[in-house]
Each structure stands twice: as structure tokens, then as C-alpha cells.
Amino acid sequence: MAGETVLVIGGGPAGLEAARGVADLGYRTVLVEARDHLGGTPIAASYAALTHGMRDAGEVMGEMAAAVTGHPLVDVRLGTRVVACAGAVGEFAVTLERRGARETVAAGAIVVATGFDHFDPGRATQQYGYYQYPDVITLQDAEAMLKAKRFVRPSTGEPPGRVGFIQCVGSRDRHIGNEYCSKVCCGIASKQAIEIRQLLPACRVFIFYIDMRMYGYWENEIYWPAQERYKVAYVKGVVSEITVKGERLLVRGEDTTMNRPMEVPMDVVILSNGMEPSRGTREIAPILGLRQNKYGFVETPHDALDPVATSVPGIFVAGAAAGPKDLDDTIGMAGAAALKAVAAVRRAAGATPAGAVPA
């Protein structure tokens, strides 16, 4: 029955987990992904190891994708976008487009799992010279090198002797309009710092930060070892600009612990760029009539008490489409969203309290 189908939009970790969850409850899912492959940002951005557990991103996402592509209740549509939506909970009619061809599918409920985009550090923070200096890179550029197990200074192809991370690039920054904390960059930078030290034991690694925001796994398995075992130097400070001195980059700013100006030479600077609403989120919200918060993420009006409910009954959100999330958050939300979507379908179909949806 068409009204018993849940449409899941997005084939990254949140969407894959939500689709599997719906199917594991015995309900049909149509999983729509704009890209031509599943796996979302971890695959599209060439992530190396996923935290926690440092398992290979390709392997993990491959397993998650296989769980849905092999499931008889999941209908995967790649290279497909949602272009229109009508109806309400229990009877949404959603128009999909693939290579110019349109089709309308019926769904009782919808899960939005459109993820995030990485902040473009060239857009508004050009004091860091991302488009000017080849040795100024992003977390994603670094991740791709770490995936290849070869971390070099881009301008020379040689191993760097000094690497510095700059935290909160595009986050906690009122000037560019992103007051929010992107939540994961402290952990990802620290993880990469460890990986660089493992690959290049002679390389010195610095992290320039405002607050190190790590908890649970990140604190115990990443932050303590980064400091103690891997001797990563954490410097509480504000970096105001990056210039060049001789053959090296020069990180200039204020060391707020020592309370003095700092000028630190680096071979590679990694900008810890945060999360922004994805193109998919920006496109889908008006199509589905979802309210967005002032940053463009999908609004969750009940906040912590129902973190997956949106402003539209029967439409739920999972993962970073609702704002910066880590993988824990994303997988938990995906399960919760799948449950709420199936419950909404059941209610709309007039489920009796005692059990199954009437035929």
C-alpha cells in the first residue's frame, strides 16, 4: 500500500540508517539520492577513517549501502532529485526527477537526510589565504591525503616539518553569520593530528583553538592521547592572518594563554572548516514547506524533546540537515526518525492500538 511507504531523501549515513530502520520494521522505503552513488559526504569528500573506531570510511559506508541495496523493501533511486511535493501525512505525493524524466511516488511519511556542506574558507575568511597559498588547505584536503597515507606539503610534495590547524573557520564567527559551533571539527582536527604524527614522527603539529570541544569518545580516545602520546601542541589563541615568510607560511595572531602576540612558521596550515546547510537542504526545504532556522538548517521546533520533528507533520529530519551533528547524533536521529515516520504512517492508516495496520 503506497501510503505505507516512507520516502527517505539523502543516501549518506543518516539516510542509509533511516532507510534500513524503516525496512527492518517491515515497511517500504524509497531512498532518493541526488548523487550517482550512496555513502554521502564520507564518500564524496574522500574521508579516510570514520570516528569512532577509526574504521575505513569506504568500508563502513559500503556496508551501510549494502544493507539497503540488498533489502527487498528498499527502492534506491540514484541521480534523482525531489522537485515537488503535494499532500499531507499519510498521503504525500512526491515528484522525483532523474535525467529530465519525472515520476510521482506516494509516501505516508518523509525523512529528510540531506546532510551538510563544508564551509568554503575562501568565501569570507580570505585572511587565511586558502585560494592564495597552496599550503593552506582544509580538513577535507588533509583527509584525502591521509586516506592515501601520504601527507605532504602541496607546494613541494615533500613531508612537512611543521603543521598547524586553525579551529573555528566558518564557525562561532558572527562576522560571517555562522555563530554556531560545528561540533565535530575539534575532534576531527585532533584525529588528523594523531594520524599526521603517526605517518611523520618528525613533524611537529599545532592546533590553535578557542575551546577544545570534545566529550565521550573524543575526550578519552582522541584528546588525551593526542596530547600525551602524540605530543600535539594545543595553543589557545586567535589567528588573525596567514602570510608568507621566506619559504614558509607565517601564522599570526594572539596566544591568549601566554597573553602575547604570536608569529609561528608553518609548512602546512589546515583550516578546520565547519558545517553549513547543504545544497540539498536549501533546495528541499522550500519544496517540502519546511521552516528553516536563520542559518538555513531544517528547523526542529520541539528541540531536544523531539529532535527529529520538523514544522510539517509527517516529515522528519535526521543528521546534519538539522545543524551540525557528529556520527553518533546522526545514527541515533536516523533511528528515531525512522520510528516516527513508521508511527506516523501507522496512525495515518488508522492503526489499531493492539497491532497491525488494517489491510
Contact residues: a second copy, CB under 8 A: 21, 23-26, 50-53, 55, 60, 71-73, 172, 179-183, 211-217, 219-220, 224, 236, 256-259, 302-308, 323-324, 326-329, 331-340, 342-343, 346-347, 351-356
- Beta strands 101-107 and 92-98 are antiparallel
> For residues 149 and 164, what is the distance between their CA atoms, to the nearest angstrom?
19
Measured distance CA(56)–CA(53) in Å, rounded: 9
Nearer to a second copy by C-beta: 31 or 137? 31
27 vs 128 by CB, closer to a second copy = 27
Min dist. Cβ of residue 210 to a second copy (A): 9
Closest to 175 measured CA to CA, from 240, 109, 113, 131: 240
Residue 107, amino acid: A
Integer Cα distance of 75 and 73 in angstroms: 7
Question: Where does residue 292 fall: left (phi above 0), alpha (psi -120 to 50 degrees), or beta otherwise?
Answer: beta
| Cβ count near 349 (within 10 Å) | 17
The 3-state DSSP class for residue 94 equals: strand
Q: How far is the CB of 246 from a second copy (least distance, A)?
A: 31
**What region does 183 belong to: left with phi over 0, alpha with psi -120 to 50, or beta?**
left
Which CB sits closer to a second copy, 24 or 75? 24
Whole-number Å distance between alpha carbons of 92 and 86: 6
> Which neighbouring-strand residues pair with 29?
6, 74
Instruction: Tell the smallest beta-carbon distance from residue 27 to a second copy (Å).
Output: 8
Looking at beta carbons only, is 34 or 333 nearer to a second copy? 333
CB of 339: closest distance to a second copy in angstroms? 4
CB 271, min distance to a second copy, A = 19
Which is closer to a second copy, CB of 246 or CB of 355?
355
- Supply the minimum distance, in Å, between the C-beta of residue 202 and a second copy: 29
User: CA 150 from chain center: how many Å?
Assistant: 24
Other C-beta atoms within 10 Å of 291: how many?
Answer: 12
3-state secondary structure of 108: coil
How far apart are CB 132 and a second copy at their closest, in Å?
Answer: 30
Q: Which is nearer to a second copy, 53 or 134 (CB)?
A: 53
Select 153 or 340, whichever has its Cβ closest to a second copy.
Answer: 340
Calculate ∠ Cα 270-170-296, nearest 5°.
Answer: 140
Closest contact distance (angstroms) between CB of 214 and a second copy is: 7
Query: How many angstroms separate the first and last alpha carbons of the chain?
Result: 9
Nearer Cβ to a second copy, position 199 or 238? 238
Report how far residue 337's alpha carbon sits from residue 342's, in angstroms, rounded to the nearest whole number: 9
